[in-house]
């Protein structure tokens, strides 16, 4: 654990359909362990790795993120992906956030926060070499996923081992798909999402047969 480093920024991207306590827990763990001054939650506009799956409208996913992070001053919402057209590639997001940092007179110190499961597929991401050149990676545990070793990181991204930090943290067995399934079947999602998010889902009838869902938010 280290104190906050001025300008150090974590980036937690995702569909957030919906955001849940697992997202918040890994963001806080990475923030504390790596001395991040802030963590940006970046809802995807068009998730490129989920073609064909219906997702809740961007406005709803953004609103759920906003309400979930409202009580943590170190957590901020970024609309960088939902406000631009086309697929939400991480490499493009990092480039835009780096430009914004430089425009503000700061040297970018960006960390992409992702689960061990997601990191295992990093070679399938668009231009992973350019991505790792633009930011460092904070890899957090995920129940059921193997913990990356330095040798394995090197085999996936040769020469990039020093750009990746593996962070210890809670391995919460919760997923957005589980929450959607429970809502659709009328089951409780209490203690899986913040209370305000559960209230939003119920109030807007999300993840039910009558819920408005778009393929392109």
What's the pLDDT score for residue 187? 96
Q: Does some domain include residue 29?
A: yes
Question: CATH number for the domain including 157?
Answer: 3.40.50.620
Domain extent at residue 130: 5-203
Is residue 120 within 8 Å of residue 149, measured between CB atoms? no
What's the pLDDT score for residue 49? 72
Contacts of 85 (CB under 8 A, 6+ apart): 45
Is residue 174 within 8 Å of residue 21, measured between CB atoms? yes
58-69 and 21-34 helices cross at what angle (nearest 10)?
50
Q: Does some domain include residue 73?
A: yes
Q: Does some domain include residue 211?
A: no
Show the low-confidence residues of the chain (pLDDT under 70): 1-2, 50-52, 143-145, 209-217
What's the pLDDT score for residue 50? 66
Q: Is 216 exposed, middle or buried (0-12, 13-18, 19+ CB in 10 A)?
A: exposed
Q: Does some domain include residue 215?
A: no
Residue 88 CA to residue 82 CA, distance in Å, equals 8
Give pTM, 2 decimals: 0.92
Q: Does some domain include residue 212?
A: no
Q: Which of 118, 112, 113 is nearest to 92 (CA)?
A: 112
Q: Does some domain include residue 57?
A: yes
Q: Does some domain include residue 117?
A: yes
What's the pLDDT score for residue 209? 65
Residue 75 CA to residue 92 CA, distance in Å, equals 21
What's the pLDDT score for residue 217? 37
Number of separate domains in the chain: 1
pLDDT per residue as tens digits for the range 155-181: 778 888 899 999 987 777 789 999 999
Q: Does some domain include residue 213?
A: no
């Amino acid at each position: 654990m280290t104190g906050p480093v001025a300008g150090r920024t974590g980036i937690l991207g995702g569909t957030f359909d919906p955001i849940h306590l697992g997202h918040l827990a890994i963001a806080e763990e990475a923030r504390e362990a790596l001395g991040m001054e802030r963590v940006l939650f970046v809802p995807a506009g068009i998730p490129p790795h989920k073609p064909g799956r219906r997702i809740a409208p961007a406005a709803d996913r953004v609103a759920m993120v906003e309400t979930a992070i409202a009580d943590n001053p170190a957590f901020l919402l970024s609309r960088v992906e939902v406000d631009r057209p086309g697929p939400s590639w991480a490499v493009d997001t990092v480039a835009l956030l780096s430009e914004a940092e430089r425009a503000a007179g700061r040297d970018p110190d960006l960390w992409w926060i992702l689960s061990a499961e997601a990191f295992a597929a990093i070679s399938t991401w668009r231009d992973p070499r350019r991505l790792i050149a633009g930011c460092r990676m904070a890899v957090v545990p995920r129940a059921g996923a193997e913990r990356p070793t330095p040798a394995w990181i090197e085999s996936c991204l040769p020469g990039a081992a020093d750009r990746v930090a593996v962070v210890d943290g809670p391995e919460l067995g919760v997923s957005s798909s589980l929450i959607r399934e429970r809502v659709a079947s009328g089951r409780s999602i209490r203690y899986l999402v913040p209370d305000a998010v559960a209230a939003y889902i119920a109030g807007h009838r999300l993840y039910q047969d009558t819920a408005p869902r778009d393929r392109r938010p």
